[in-house]
Chains A and B, each alone.
Chain A
Amino acid sequence: MGAYIKGIGIISPQKTFDTKFFEEVILPFTGNRMKCIEPDYSLYIDAKQIRRMSRIIRMGTASSVKALKDAGVEKPGAVIVGTAFGCLEDTETFLKKMIQNKEEMLNPTAFIHSTHNSIASQIALLFQCKGYNSTYVHRNISFESAMMDTVLLLQENETESVLAGGIDELTDSSFSILKLLGYYKENSELNSTNLYDANSKGSVAGEGSAFFLLVNKPDKKCYAEIRAVKTFSFISEEEVASQVKELLSEHKIDRADILISGHNGDLDDDKIFKSFATRLNMQDAILKYKHLCGEYPTSTGFALWMAALIIKKNELASEFGLKSLSGKKINNAIIYNQQKNLHHSITILSAC
């Protein structure tokens, strides 16, 4: 019994919500901050509910509606979300008022929505999903933790379908603070074509909401099968590569067709990405993605969307510019991400 992606809904700095595949030219970015292209939420969420929802909850809700519609499923059996920072806007609103009003006359709505699990619970409320519900909040493995739980839940046969999502928003404050902490480059001349050549620290800031409806029985509609999701913490990239090779071997995959890698333009991080690809002998099959969505903890949600579509179509779109792989059938994909050599993650997908 496996885990199969049957529906996807994604909001990102690319036109991913309404397009089927990379039909439109991939939107280039300039500067050090990418912002999501958002749909008209009123088409997906009732007006009475929208009025209270902050941006991230709208993003998560709309993506979920899309994913379920895409899958042709009315109600998921469970909802599991990964988000490193949670509802920043609501948190800031409440904090600001608390400080300005000196702890008096505070609005409950912002507090209620500031809790990390309000995205998952809002979605459950909307679809009246009374099953398992959880939210993971662990940095750059928040989404992978959610996916591990999803795969486990489906294997345990507790439910036939799980709505799993990875979501993080960027606010003006979080952008300023993360920039001060060294996560993003200075603005200057940064753009999609030079991100990976910058030879400096930091990346481009991003955000996004990617939701997937996964089922435990495949059918023609499915995009891909999730063969494995694993996280590795506090061990070297060399050890990670070694364990990944074992994992591939266990799943009888000699060599994956493509490595979707979290290269992000940061000097130190990219050394690790490069080394990992070489150890797996996949340096000629790397597909980078953060120049499309930016760097944020749950960016692997975007990567999973890409991987699923590539496998479904079974080939690589020419827009990706990977000439060495053009025309090749893509049956297996690996997604690899890490940050500051602390937490690494791997997702292995195959054609159904």
Chain B
Amino acid sequence: MSNEVLIAGAGIISAIGNNIPESLHAFERHQSGIKTAKHLTTRHQQEFPLGEVTLSNKQLAHHNGLDSRLSRTILLSYHAAKEALSSFPESALQNFRTGFISASTVGGMDKTEFFFENFLNDSSSGDLRNIMYHDCGKATDYVAEKLKIKNFVTTISTACSSSANAIMLASRMIKSNQLDIVVAGGVDSLTKFTLNGFNSLMIVDREQCKPLDQNRNGLNLGEGAAYLVLINEKVQRKINLSVLCKLSGYCNTNDSHHPTALSDEGNGPYSAMLGALKMSGLQPSQINYINMHGTGTQNNDSAEGKAIERIFHPEYPSLSSTKSFTGHTLGASGAVEAVFSALAIKHNIVYPNFSFKEPISGLNIIPEMKFRKQAEINHVLSNSFGFGGNCTSLVFSK
């Protein structure tokens, strides 16, 4: 019996849509979700466009039967995980060994920020209900309990590659016969902390970001949550679900060059992509589409571009950065893009860059400009590279 890991469910919420159909629709209409934020209160509201989920906390709570005072991180996470499991009979989760592996970079920081404003002035003030969401594990626990998932629960935090690593761990737990069904992905909500943090690094664009473009000026921050449901063949035989694709390869490496920047040659990305290809048994020429990490920063796009050149030149597959539509959703980005990749295989589609004028000098990397249907998409490579040199690549196949 082969040991394949299948993707049998997906759920997503981001600036371009509150679920899968809305998200795909946005790509089709070429509509970016990056605009002036409505819900995040920050001094920089007019200065930086953001990829904010359109629903308010009240609306998210109402839609999902939750308390609106919960951290936005929990609200987003539950919303997407619920969609991912929507085609699963509830009994399935009880009859098999299930797990929930989530990821986040700042957890409940949206609430912590409020708490600290009071706490700083007076250490006996500050609503404790705001600080109790701070740790990343809290959101995971809340959602796991609501989904009635026991057995195995954990949270990963490796900056921008967090949820890609969650998906990778899920597959490893299944292949090692420890679990049968795993809901894996991640979440991050917009916070003043992250917006100001990235701004202090001077890598945030004051306009719609331009990934892969010679004249790019940085990233647009976003928020969102996305989850895949990974299963083994035993589950598939018993429940016979509609499968999107399989996870055929993955690899995590460390660039070890600098705390926030990748090496010029893109060594970490190069090793991660090669490792994922090797595991999937594929040649570079068999990849039909690359969903790049493509944040729009000078460093990432050059390094990632260079690494792609090293592997794929001269025959490049279709490629693009969907962050030009959703913004950089940090801890959720790996899973957001994994969901897009799985859908690309299921529906034979290719996503475009939102905009593009001039390739990065020295590289011949030209992204897709239009959303395409009826493409032949058998294998997709999805990249996620985070602070601390954490590089992860995933390969999805029919």
0/1 string, A106-119, CB within 8 A of B gives 1: 11100111111110
State in angstroms the CA–CA spacing of A13 and B371 once bound together: 59
Residue pair B165, A134 in contact (C-beta under 8 Å): yes
B393 within 8 A of A: no
Q: Contact mask A90-129 → B, CB, 8 Å, 1/0?
A: 0000111011101110111001111111101110110011
A-chain residues with CB within 8 Å of residue B199 when the two chains form the complex: 106
Total residue contacts A-B, CB cutoff 8 A: 177
* Complex interface residues of chain A between 63 and 98 (CB less than 8 A to chain B): 79, 84-86, 94-96, 98
Q: Is the CB of A130 within 8 A of B268?
A: yes
- CB of B196 within 8 A of CB of A98, answer yes
Q: Which single residue of chain B is at the shortest CB-CB distance from A113?
A: B259
Q: Is the CB of A120 within 8 A of B388?
A: yes
A residues in contact with B389, CB < 8 Å:
121, 124-125, 133
Name the contact of B387 in the complex, choosing from A85, A121, A342 (C-beta under 8 A).
A121
Q: Is the CB of B153 within 8 A of A99?
A: no
- Taken together as a complex, chains A and B put the C-alpha atoms of A100 and B387 apart, in Å, by 26
> 8 Å CB contacts to A: which residues of B185-226?
192-193, 196-201
CB-contacts of B124-153 with A (<8 A)? 128, 131-132, 135-138, 140-141, 144-145, 150-153
In the complex, the answer to whether A133 meets B196 with C-beta atoms within 8 Å is: no
Find chain A residues with CB under 8 A from B132 CB. Answer: 181
Indicate whether B373 reaches chain A with its CB closer than 8 angstroms: no
Q: Give Cα A75–Cα B105 distance, bound, in whole angstroms.
A: 27
Q: How large is the interface on B (under 10, 10 to 19, 20 to 34, 35 or more residues)?
A: 35 or more
B117 within 8 A of A: yes
> Complex Cα distance A149/B156, Å?
11
Known contacts A125-B259, A138-B153; is-contact A98 B135 (Cβ 8 Å): no
Q: A149 to B112, alpha carbons, bound, how many Å? A: 30
List residues 149-195 of chain A with CB under 8 A from any CB of chain B: 149, 152, 155-156, 173, 176-177, 180-181
Contact A125 B256, beta carbon cutoff 8 Å? yes
Residue of A102, A115, A125, A152 touching B105 (CB-CB under 8 A): A115
> With an 8 A cutoff between CB atoms, is B386 at the interface?
yes
CB distance from B385 to the nearest CB of A (A): 12
Q: Of B1-9, B16-24, B247-255, which binds chain A? A: B247-255
Residue A333 is within 8 A (CB to CB) of chain B in the complex: no
* A145 nearest in chain B by CB position: B154
Is A141 in contact with chain B by the CB < 8 A criterion? yes
**A106 and B196 contacting across the interface, CB-CB below 8 Å:** yes
Residues of A within 8 A of B356 (CB): none
- Who on chain B is nearest to A172 by CB? B123
Residue picked from B150, B255, B256, most chain A C-beta under 10 Å: B256
Does chain A have a CB within 8 A of B42?
yes
Q: Is the CB of A112 within 8 A of B201?
A: yes
Within 22-79 of A, Cβ neighbours of B (below 8 Å) are at 79
B387, A137: Cβ atoms closer than 8 Å: no
Question: Residue on B with the closest CB to A153?
Answer: B172
Min distance, Cβ A140 to any Cβ of chain B, angstroms:
9
Q: For the complex, what is the distance from the CA of A95 to the CA of B193, rounded to whole Å?
A: 7
Interface centre among B104, B131, B388 (most CB of A within 10 A): B388
Beyond A98-B192, A108-B201, A181-B132, whether A141 also contacts B154 by CB under 8 A is yes
Query: In the complex the two chains form, is B154's CB within 8 Å of A235's CB?
Result: no
B201–A117 contact, CB under 8 A?
Answer: no
Q: Does B259 contact A118, Cβ atoms closer than 8 Å? A: yes
A99-B43 CB under 8 A given contacts A86-B157, A132-B252, A133-B158 = no
A343 at the interface (CB under 8 A from B): yes
B141 touches A342 (CB 8 A): yes
Q: Is A131 an interface residue (CB 8 A)?
A: yes
Q: What are 28 inter-chain pairs, A to B, with CB distance below 8 A?
A: A84-B135, A94-B196, A103-B192, A106-B197, A107-B200, A108-B197, A111-B200, A111-B201, A112-B259, A117-B157, A117-B390, A121-B390, A125-B389, A129-B254, A130-B253, A130-B254, A130-B267, A131-B254, A133-B252, A133-B389, A134-B390, A135-B157, A136-B154, A138-B136, A156-B176, A181-B128, A234-B144, A234-B150
Residues of A at under 8 Å CB distance from B? 79, 84-86, 94-96, 98-100, 102-104, 106-108, 111-118, 120-122, 124-125, 128-139, 141-142, 145, 149, 152, 155-156, 173, 176-177, 180-181, 231-235, 342-343
In addition to A108-B201, A135-B156, A149-B169, 18 A-B residue pairs with Cβ atoms within 8 Å of each other are A84-B135, A96-B116, A96-B120, A98-B192, A102-B43, A112-B260, A115-B157, A120-B158, A122-B259, A125-B257, A130-B271, A133-B388, A137-B107, A145-B154, A152-B172, A177-B128, A181-B131, A235-B150
- Return the 9 tightest CB-CB contacts between A and B, nearest first: A121-B388, A111-B197, A116-B157, A138-B137, A139-B137, A108-B200, A137-B136, A133-B254, A138-B155
